[in-house]
Structure 1
Amino acid sequence: MVVRRGRNSIGLRSLPFSRKVSYFDGEFERLYQRRVLPASGPEYCRLMEPLLRCCTPPRHRSCSRARGRLALAAGVLLLLGCILLCSRPGSKFMSYCGRAFLIQVCQRYPKVEFLHKVDPKVVLQNYLRQNLPVIITDGAEEWVAQREFTLPFLTQLYSGHPVLQSTEVCSYWDSLHSVENNPMAFFEKVRQQRLNQWAVQWKNCNKAAAKVIRAFYQRPYFLPPVVELAESNWLLMASHEENDAVEDTFVKVKDHDGDLLMWIAQLQGIFEVQLLPKDICASKCTHYTLKLSPGEIVAIPLQMWDVQYRPFSSIAIGLAATGNWLQDPR
């Protein structure tokens, strides 16, 4: 049986759900081809603006009866998803609207907030799930790494620990473009050449090596149980001459493996961390430049932001890791 455009509503209601989806999918495609539907992303999003306004985070809502409207908006978006996602223009429509939602979130977030002794539930609901970065001022205060991770200590640790000596690091990068891809070889160059401006980062992806570094820090207390941290971790180190202007070059933290979250803990000195909005948000949303002091941790949702850093003190040392959200009831 072929469903025709002139079919009455009673006949349409009698069809199986899969045939209803096919019918609406065909109608959507027909309207798209006839240019009845808008051809640009902004126009798609303009149609959804009333819903998107009511889907902004709770503390930024200006709509009256926001809770009821949010439930209605969620229901409408779910219905649209069921009907439209099977079609090419339908998928494009939902993609544009999802992006528009993220843009509205970042446009309404004027600055990155600082929190102290915060409840993990607050971090999850008000920041991570809203794709909003946040700084926890007491995030690493009690860590051994915050007290001991200096350049001499790390040089000795990597030269004397059997596990760290026998395993290779991943995603290695340094400002001298070394061919060895080895932290110890880099530190030796810094010592011999007496360099004052340099940067290096590497990922401890070997489980045994990452475990050695984890012995110096704990799971950040502000992360709720639904956030599952990756086993690997990064060490970020950089230096510049005191009283000199900081170089414009930022270093990106790469190799996220598709994770949704990254946290960076400041251990020594000060890093200037820059958060850059991704994709379509790049032209609509501002970027943030933060200065992290020792003991502070910035939590960054990677779906929205790219991360880069540079030293703001003579020597700066940081530790980073990534994680993902597990499914849980809200």
Structure 2
Amino acid sequence: MEQAEQRLQEILGRAEKLGVPPRGLVRLGAVKKLLAKRQQSSQHAFLPVLAGILSATLALVYSLGLHTHYGFSRAWLKWHQLDVYDQVCTISMPDQLTKAFRPPEDCSMCQGINQVEKVSKISPHHFEETYAYTGRPVVVTDAMENWTAQHVFSFQFFKEVYEESPLMGCQFFPYETEFTQLREVFNMSQDRAHMKDGTRPWYIGWSNCDDRVARIFRQHYGRPYFLPPTAESKKLDWIFMGSPGYGAHMHVDNVEHPSWQAQLRGRKKWTLEPPPECYYQCGPLEVTVEPGEIIVLDTNRWYHKTLIVSDEMSITIGAEYD
């Protein structure tokens, strides 16, 4: 009980530093539930109190509107009956809080790796043994030979596909733009969308959870041939698109599985850094992914940032695999 209360005090201290007044915290539904649980619990009821503290933390994050790449599943929120999180897929978590709860990594994931290898004609068995679940990044250069996505996917294509979608993306990443949702992206001027001189650059990402849209997407790409037979490529598509000179900041993800990302258009430079506990055993890596190549990376373990280094728009699509 003392440990749980101490943790609560830490959370309240962080809230104060962020400028959230105590009265504002008291009005949060999750905090009210926590206080009620504390009154009903015995001194040995540690887990319910801890769960309440985490719920209060999540409510605080949502009320502040903070966002990064990190999120918690809707199922987890529904389990704790947090109606305030009635979102389509995920809510956002601040970077520092995610790092605080991240378990330490086994540094064998990066020891002895000096570069991101580029391979072709790799068998699923070799891929599974060497890369699939080891944390070792790799770029496969010949995995889009039968895809039409490279020739079809464009800003206009996505705009037209989503015109009839009520969801307009499941989770949206504005990065350094002013956009707050995918609909605003598709409503930008044609000049800016096509990166005409004098217009503001942009880079965004989103996940698709509209089944109709997913079926359209997957008419133009298939399961990467190198995935092991027992691996399942998840149904949720991730799309990243934007202008030269832009990209994602350095971060680590909080998703369930490793993922692959197919570079359909443009060139994107990836900078990878090992987790802090591995700094003295592993070094940073860089690789530029060319059109037609797929990078496979466990973004939960490697800190990473991206930069579009081509003169044309970059379009990337990918998914997790288990």
For normalisation by structure 1, the TM-score amounts to 0.58
CA contact (8 A) 1:207 1:232 kept: no
User: Radius of gyration: which is bigger?
Assistant: 1
Identify the residue that residue 20 of structure 1 maps to in structure 2.
none
Q: Structure 1, residues 305-327: CA drift from partner, whole Å, max 9, x if none?
A: 23432211131111111121xxx
Q: What is the distance in 2 between the residues matched to 1:204 and 1:232?
A: 6
Alignment of 1:70-89 (within 5 A): none
- How far apart are the structure 1 equivalents of 2:117 and 2:301? 17
Deviations 1:52-74 (A, max 9, x none): xxxxxxxxxxxxxxxxxxxxxxx
Letter matched to residue 292 of structure 2: G
1:306 aligns with 2:303: yes
User: Map of 1:159-198 to 2, 5 A cutoff?
Assistant: 159=163, 162=164, 165-174=165-174, 175-179=176-180, 181-182=181-182, 184-191=183-190, 195-198=199-202
Q: In structure 1, which of residues 224, 247, 250 is the aligned counterpart of residue 248 of structure 2?
A: 250
Structure 2: runs of 5+ lacking an equivalent: 1-102
Contact 1:141–1:296, Cα closer than 8 Å, also in 2: no
The alignment of Structure 1 onto Structure 2 pairs a total of residues equal to 213
The corresponding residue for 2:321 is 323
In 2, distance between residues paired with 1:276 and 1:137?
22
In the alignment, residue 177 of structure 1 is paired with which amino acid? E
CA contact (8 A) 2:112 2:282 kept: no
Q: Which runs of structure 2 are paired with 1:149-228 in the superposition (5 Å)?
A: 149-159=153-163, 162=164, 165-174=165-174, 175-179=176-180, 181-182=181-182, 184-191=183-190, 195-228=199-232
Bigger strand fraction:
1
Cα drift, residue 283 of structure 1: 4.9
Change (3 A) 1:273 1:190: farther
State the one-letter code of the partner of 1:270. Answer: R
1:80-159 equivalences in 2 (<5 Å): 99=105, 102-159=106-163
Distance 2:318 2:290 in 1: 15
Does the 8 A contact of 2:255 with 2:300 survive in 1?
no
Shift of 1:176: 2.1
CA distance in 1, matches of 2:288, 2:266: 10
Instruction: Give the deviation of 1:256 after TM superposition.
Output: 5.0
Who is 1:78 aligned against? none
Cα RMSD, aligned residues only: 2.5
Match in the other structure for 2:274: 277
Match of 1:70 in 2: none
1 or 2, which has the higher helix percentage? Answer: 1
**Residue type at the aligned position of 1:167:** L
What is the SS of the residue equivalent to 2:321? strand
Does the aligned pair in 2 maintain the 1:169–1:206 contact within 8 Å?
Answer: yes
Amino acid at match of 2:268: F
Unaligned runs of 5+ in 1: 1-94, 241-245, 325-330
Cα deviation, residue 278, structure 1: 2.5
Counterpart of 1:172, as a letter, is: F
